[in-house]
Amino acid sequence: MDMKMKQFPNSIRIGNYTREQQIVATVWYHERLYTGMTRYQLTLNFGIRFQQGNLPSYNTLKMWERKLFKYGRLHRDKAKAKKPRTNLVKYIYLPYVKESFTKFPDLTIRARAEMLGFSYRSVSDIVKEEISPEELELLKNKGRKDHESDGTASKTVEQIDKLDS
């Protein structure tokens, strides 16, 4: 360890630094090879810029750099981590999946996904989470009634493929 570093023994944990302090110090640490900045200069600049006596340790700076440049962030917000993401794909696919139940009520989820060109997982999630069982039965019954009134039976994927070719 550098002898000059010993005069800055006050290293504190990550939680005691603001995001700005963490990011600025991390970028300085990351660019030290290009700027020629030593560890001592880096910690001195940190103290001057932020008027803070408690400076991050060299190991803390290495950890911040690894996290920032690997994950694009230093730490996760606990509030954001618990909030589920909204999957917009589901909302984009939803009308197509519903329409497919009226046009082809007897297809399996896998065959329906293949026919629509969507992933099995997306169609399965939409059916489980976005369409209630009652609505699903209504869509299927509507499709069956439409096919009976047209005089056409519901088609299988093979029949649809034959029509497309």
DSSP of the chain: --GGGGG------GGGS-HHHHHHHHHHHHTHHHHT--HHHHHHHHHHHHT-S----HHHHHHHHHHHHHHSSSS--HHHHHSPPP-HHHHHHHHHHHHHHHH-TT--HHHHHHHHT--HHHHHHHHHHTS-HHHHHHHHHHHHHHHHHHT-PPPPHHHHHHHH-
Higher pLDDT pick, 48 / 159: 48
Question: For residue 64, what pLDDT is reported?
Answer: 84
Rounded mean pLDDT, 55-77: 77
Residue 153 has pLDDT above 80, yes or no: no
Of the pLDDT bands very low, low, confident and very high (cuts 50, 70, 90), residue 122 is confident
Place of tokens 């001195």: 44
Rounded mean pLDDT, 3-31: 66
Of the pLDDT bands very low, low, confident and very high (cuts 50, 70, 90), residue 8 is very low
- Report pLDDT digits (tens) over 89-110: 677 888 899 999 988 888 899 9
Q: How far is CA 20 from CA 16, 17, 33, in A?
A: 12, 8, 21
Higher pLDDT pick, 5 / 64: 64
